[in-house]
Amino acid sequence: MSAVDKPSWTARVREAGVRAMPPERLLPDTQPAYMSSWIYIFGVLTIAALVIIIFSGSVLGLKGPAWWHYTGIGHFFNSIHLWAVELFFFFMVIHLWGKFFMAAWRGGRGRTWMSGAITFLTSIAAAFTGYVSQQNFDSQWIATQAKDGLNSTGIGAFFNVLNFGQMYTYHVLLLPVVVIALVSAHILLVRRTGIVPPLPLGELAIHAPAADPPGAGATESAA
Amino acid sequence: MAVASPTVTLAAIINLNHPAAYAHWGFFQMSVPNLVVIGLMIVVFAAAIALPFPGSRRRRSRS
């Protein structure tokens, strides 16, 4: 085979991507009928809150601490950012409860479950670094209390929660990148393995059979 | 009598400008705002399971 006939690395990557995630599975025409329940909306509500967090956080980062402390519009965006975080965790915890009680790791969905769990833990770290980056007495109190707690575990050797520059970098760059990457992987895994169906009536979660892949069984038009 | 501005009226619905109250039973201690949020999450979770989803009954009867 000549060099001309050999597929380039870009073609190989494209083919591998299409094999792993066919377009009809990435953006399906239909969704399973069992998704007609309010309990299935909390994942997308969490993502909506994350979008608002990123937008309001970007504005706060562009304007800086003096703006968010001393101007009316700065207070407004500060509050938008805070309440979006509150809603983010509110929706994410209900999403977690719903998926826990329907044993959402069934049917080869273990990686989806674990990526969600790691996203939850990473989000706590992202929120914490936000609380200590406020530049007020509240953030000083939280940072000093957290410093004692973290030092007692030994993890305080790796970072200093009293260091505003360090915590701010974690908050506006490092942890958001990790959270967005994890959420993206989580969504792709959900698309790949399909939405977990409810548990069969009269059976324990541990004995529940694996779900059929998406496309099998009853479907309805996507909203 | 002083007339409150719209901003003051809005802010006066719940006064947050003071330390939170705490619930304390034995070893358990938690702020009332945190308890309220947890209670709301349980209510919303139960409602999400119990309330019918719009259009779901129509689709079920059609199939």
Sole residue written with tokens 């999403």: A95
Say if A211 falls within a structural domain: no
- In the numeric block, which tokens belong to residue A181? 């990457």
Interface mutation vs chain A, best among B36, B53, B58, most A CBs within 10 Å: B53
Q: Which amino acid is at A92?
A: M
Residue A58 and residue A133 share a domain: no
pLDDT tens, position by position, A88-128: 999 999 999 999 999 999 999 999 999 999 999 999 999 99
* Closest listed residue to residue A84, CA positions, set A51, A41, A53: A53
Pairing of strands B28-31, A219-221: unpaired
- DSSP alpha helices (H): ranges in A4-71? 9-20, 23-26, 42-63, 65-70
**Predicted confidence band of residue B8 (pLDDT cuts 50, 70, 90):** low
Count Cβ atoms below 10 Å from residue A132 Cβ, excluding itself: 25
Q: Which domain holds residue A192?
A: 109-199
The kind and range of the H/E element at B28 are strand B28-31
The residues of chain A scoring below 50 in pLDDT are 205, 213-223
Which residues, numbered 17 to 46 in chain B, qualify as contacts with chain A under a Cβ-Cβ cut-off of 8 Å? 37, 40-41, 44-45
Number of structural domains found in chain A: 2
For residue B25, the distance in angstroms to the closest alpha carbon of chain A comes to 23
Say if A21 falls within a structural domain: no
Residue A182 and residue A114 share a domain: yes
Residue A191 and residue A127 share a domain: yes
pLDDT tens, position by position, B9-34: 556 577 778 888 999 999 999 999 89
What pLDDT does residue B17 have? 81
- In the numeric block, which tokens belong to residue A196? 């977990």
Say if A31 falls within a structural domain: no
What pLDDT does residue B47 have? 97
Pairing of strands A219-221, A30-32: antiparallel
